[in-house]
Amino acid sequence: MVFVGGTAPTSEIYRSAIDDLKAPICVVAADSGADHARKLGLRVDLAVGDFDSASEATQSWLHRTGAEIHPHPPHKDQSDLELAMEASLEKGPAAMYVLGLGGGRPDHALLNLMVLCDERWQAAPVFGEADGCWITVVRGERGLEGELGSVVSLLAVGGPATVSTDGLLFGLEGEELSPTSARGLSNVITRSPASIDVTSGVVLTLQPGMGRLSSV
């Protein structure tokens, strides 16, 4: 599980995420994501970044609690999130959950969502959370849980994606979603779990509100 320095996830969001995890949790913090983990009472296994935004109290706490720390210079070509996900991948995760993606500068927020879709971590399912919006990176077929009537948006990333769905109000049958079109915006779950089959490309699903993150 990766904590980043956006809007702090609540304890409810954290519990919703860990409900899906069957294996032991490795907590990785990207810079001030360590502040969020500390406030939730979690022990950080690995902290990564330039540490220009993590509080001094949290940095001292990381050292006291024996966290593995990978410092990086402020001037670098990768974001703290990328570095944290690379470090997470080295642990051989069954899945990666990224919490605290919301808030802050719009360029950071947008690029963080794009980073989730990078091919480097395609072997491990990737899920995220931003301001209570659950995010799932979909390659191939995946189930998607949610309350009946709740909103889910489908966003093609990096190029067009060919998508079929079942259990959504506005069904898609082998249709092409463009990353520059609003075609996938504000669909509605009519059966849970719904299913999404991406036969080419990559799709982000976004479920606003305090929905439940699921790795179905």
pTM of the entire predicted model = 0.89
Note whether 115 and 208 are same-domain residues.
no
Whether residues 105 and 170 share a domain: the answer is: no
DSSP, res 15 = H
Residue 12 sits in the same domain as residue 105 = yes
Among 76, 101, 131, where does a domain finish? 131
Quick one: pLDDT band at residue 211, thresholds 50, 70, 90?
very low
What band does 216 get if pLDDT is binned at 50, 70 and 90?
very low
Mean pLDDT of 48-62: 92
96 shares a domain with 71 = yes
Residue 143 shares a structural domain with residue 69: no
- Tell me: do 97 and 153 sit in the same domain: no
Domain closes at, from 67, 100, 131: 131
Asked if 101 and 154 sit in the same domain, the reply is no
Domain hosting residue 113, numbered range: 1-131
7 and 105 both lie in a single domain: yes
Last residue of one domain, picked from the residues 106, 131, 156: 131
Contacts by 87-94 with C-beta closer than 8 Å and gap 24+? Answer: 87/28, 87/46, 87/48, 88/2, 88/26, 88/28, 88/46, 89/120, 89/121, 89/124, 91/26, 91/28, 91/46, 93/26, 93/124, 94/22, 94/23, 94/124, 94/125
> CA triplet 37, 39, 45: central angle to 5 degrees?
30
Quote the number of domains for the chain.
2
pLDDT in tens, 109-147: 899 999 999 999 998 999 999 999 999 999 999 999 999
Confidence of residue 160 (pLDDT cuts 50, 70, 90): very high
165 and 125 housed in the same domain: no
Handedness of CA 139, 143, 147, 148 (dihedral sign): positive
- For residues 159-181, give the mean pLDDT: 96
β-strand pairing of 96-99 with 133-144: unpaired
The pair of structure tokens assigned to 128 is 């995220």
